[in-house]
Amino acid sequence: MTVDLRKDFVDYAKSLNSACEDTNIQKAMTRAVGSYRDTVAETMERFQHTPELAREVREIKSQSVANLDELLKQAMASVERNKGKAFYAKDHQAALEIALGIIGRNKTVVKGKSMLGEELHLRQYLEDNGNEVWETDLGEFILQLRKERPMHILSPSIHVPREQVAEVFSKFFGKEVPPDIAEEVKAVREFMREKYFTADIGISGANVVAADTGAMVIIENEGNVRLATGAPPVHIVIVGIEKLVPTFQDAMKVAEVTWRYAQYGIPGYVNIVSGPSKTGDIEKVTTYGAHGPKEFYVIFVDSGRSEMAKQEKFSQALNCLRCGGCMYECPVFQVTAGHFGHIYMGGIGTIWTAFVAGGMEKATPLAYSCLRCGRCVERCPMSIEVPAMIGELRKRAIHGE
Ligand code: SF4
């Protein structure tokens, strides 16, 4: 069945055109692209083994995607063995209901950055059910206050220059916050610290999950994930099943390639969480709930991913590490930021949108703004053939499956 796309196309074209004329986006994107290219070039020079490691990771990811059912079973058993509780959510609604079942109502929640959280509209859902939810990632916090969606998968507020951040912070904090980045960061730090230690629940995503051990690897720089998942008494991980790999060693390789192409020699923090906090210090009796969370839950979300894995022409999109590198190279993204996107952005985001976050109605306008120039493939550590998949999506939009 083909799709009537007229309204979606018109709305989307308006948003793209106005983004192209937005001087704040131009200013912020010019700064961000320049900084990414300089830093990543210098980082690759220092860590010259990275492209070879990326080739190895490509193999690990491809095999994992072909074996998701088995890895999921192993990972769930590993989480339970570690005294956590593992859930499988077939779709978005199931994931939200499981999360709400754990959290309940009238709770304070601190949350780390998660594109899956965006896909689920998780914050909105928890707020609608009577909870207070704070985004702890600085960029996400800015967007929470501006009531906007992320414009990049790793740097969600990439389109907001410091002058606009100062405006929104001054209003929210009720005092003058100057357009000085250090002052802006300080204001959020002071506000957020109390939230970490009074929150009932911390929520995070994970960059990669090792099925053999149930280890969740979470890469970050700000220290917000460490606090959000360490201070409250309950930690919930919400993660897509495409993040599964067989072993802990595989997970470390995936993590290194992810942060390297995200422009880091080494990130500020690499969190490895596998269960509730515990101690055996008194008489060697293992007791749960020491300094960190006493309860640990993992929700593995499918929601279109296993279907994507079965499709020969699209399954490689599941290899995406969400490093964000391709977006800085994309000529359309460079002038529109995440307006070239729905929930996920850019060429790879178009494929994700089609399968897990909006369907063909939302993905088709995106597919027709991709230039299929292939610059993303050059940058991508997984060499994902986005232009070929975009071509296939266009065929489906016209002729149906
Ligand atoms: S498609 Fe490739 S470059 Fe883009 S975010 Fe995914 S892994 Fe990174």
- In tens, the pLDDT along 18-58 reads 999 988 888 888 888 998 999 999 999 999 999 999 999 99
Q: Is the CB of 345 under 6 A from ligand 1?
A: no
Name the average pLDDT for the chain: 95
Confidence check: pLDDT of 7 > 90: no
In this prediction, residues 308-324 reach a mean pLDDT of: 96
Residues 175 and 40 placed together within one structural domain of the fold:
no
Domain termination residue (choose one: 273, 305, 337): 305
Q: Is the CB of 346 under 6 A from ligand 1?
A: no
Output the CA 364–ligand 1 centroid distance in Å. Answer: 20
Residues 74 and 177 placed together within one structural domain of the fold:
yes
Report yes or no: 335 and 19 within 8 Å, Cβ to Cβ: yes
Residues 94 and 203 placed together within one structural domain of the fold:
yes
Residue whose CA lies nearest to ligand 1 atom number 3: 380
Q: Burial of 291 by CB count in 10 Å (0-12 exposed, 13-18 middle, 19+ buried)? A: exposed
Q: How far apart are CA 235 and CA 231, in angstroms?
A: 9
Residues 281 and 380 placed together within one structural domain of the fold:
no
Domain termination residue (choose one: 305, 338, 367): 305
Q: How far apart are CA 246 and CA 281, in angstroms?
A: 31
Residues 246 and 264 placed together within one structural domain of the fold:
yes
Task: List the CATH number of the domain containing 130.
Answer: 3.40.50.10420
pLDDT: is 152 or 396 the higher one? 396
Output the CA 346–ligand 1 centroid distance in Å. Answer: 10
Output the CA 335–ligand 1 centroid distance in Å. Answer: 19
Q: How far apart are CA 310 and CA 187, in angstroms?
A: 47
In this prediction, residues 230-257 reach a mean pLDDT of: 98
Residue 241's nearest CA partner among 316, 312, 322, 309 is 309
In this prediction, residues 143-150 reach a mean pLDDT of: 93
Residue 376 CA, closest ligand 1 atom number: 3
DSSP secondary-structure letter at 262?
A: T
Residue 316 counted as domain residue: no
Output the CA 99–ligand 1 centroid distance in Å. Answer: 28
Residues 292 and 335 placed together within one structural domain of the fold:
no
Confidence check: pLDDT of 306 > 80: yes
Residue 319 counted as domain residue: no
pLDDT of 340 reads 94
Residues 350 and 288 placed together within one structural domain of the fold:
no
Give the Cβ contact number of residue 208 at 10 Å.
Answer: 28
Q: How far apart are CA 172 and CA 185, in angstroms?
A: 14
Residue among 316, 328, 348, 377 whose CB has most ligand 1 atoms within 8 A, to mutate = 348
Residue 140 counted as domain residue: yes
In this prediction, residues 226-247 reach a mean pLDDT of: 98
User: How many Cα atoms sit within 13 Å of 121 on the Cβ side?
Assistant: 12
pLDDT of 150 reads 87
Cα–chain center distance at 320: 11
Residues 333 and 197 placed together within one structural domain of the fold:
no
User: How many Cα atoms sit within 13 Å of 53 on the Cβ side?
Assistant: 18
Output the CA 152–ligand 1 centroid distance in Å. Answer: 12
Q: How far apart are CA 250 and CA 258, in angstroms?
A: 12
Q: How far apart are CA 76 and CA 120, in angstroms?
A: 21
Residue whose CA lies nearest to ligand 1 atom number 2: 380
Residue 100 counted as domain residue: yes
Output the CA 317–ligand 1 centroid distance in Å. Answer: 9
Residue 23 counted as domain residue: yes
Residue 346 CA, closest ligand 1 atom number: 4
Sheet holding 201-204, edge to edge: 85-89, 295-301, 234-240, 201-204, 108-111, 132-135
In this prediction, residues 285-312 reach a mean pLDDT of: 96
Q: Model confidence at 158, in pLDDT bands (50, 70, 90)?
A: confident
Report yes or no: 69 and 305 within 8 Å, Cβ to Cβ: no
Q: Is the CB of 111 under 6 A from ligand 1?
A: no
Residue 256 counted as domain residue: yes
Confidence check: pLDDT of 400 > 90: no
pLDDT: is 203 or 152 the higher one? 203
Residue 386 CA, closest ligand 1 atom number: 1
Output the CA 385–ligand 1 centroid distance in Å. Answer: 10
Reading the block at residue 259, the tokens are: 């942060």
CA distances from 256 to 61, 65, 171, 264, 321 (A): 14, 19, 39, 9, 11
Residue 61 counted as domain residue: yes
Can you count the helices (H) and strands (E) in the chain? 19, 12
Residue 261 CA, closest ligand 1 atom number: 8
Q: How many domains does the chain have?
A: 2
pLDDT of 26 reads 86
Range of the domain at 360: 6-46+324-399
Residues 253 and 139 placed together within one structural domain of the fold:
yes
Cα R_g (the chain), whole angstroms? 21
Q: Is the CB of 28 under 6 A from ligand 1?
A: no
pLDDT of 223 reads 97
Sort strands 208-210 and 215-220 into parallel, antiparallel or unpaired: antiparallel
pLDDT of 358 reads 87
Helix axes 248-261, 50-65, angle to 10 degrees: 120
Q: Is the CB of 322 under 6 A from ligand 1?
A: yes
Q: At 281, which amino acid appears?
A: D
Q: Is the CB of 123 under 6 A from ligand 1?
A: no
Residues 328 and 343 placed together within one structural domain of the fold:
yes
Residues 10 and 70 placed together within one structural domain of the fold:
no
Residue 112 counted as domain residue: yes
Residue whose CA lies nearest to ligand 1 atom number 6: 320
Q: Is the CB of 382 under 6 A from ligand 1?
A: yes
Q: Model confidence at 165, in pLDDT bands (50, 70, 90)?
A: very high
Q: Is the CB of 57 under 6 A from ligand 1?
A: no
Confidence check: pLDDT of 5 > 70: no
Reading the block at residue 102, the tokens are: 């754990």
Percent residues over pLDDT 90 in the chain: 87
Domain termination residue (choose one: 255, 274, 305): 305
Q: Is the CB of 318 under 6 A from ligand 1?
A: no
Residue whose CA lies nearest to ligand 1 atom number 4: 326
Residues 58 and 40 placed together within one structural domain of the fold:
no
pLDDT of 1 reads 46
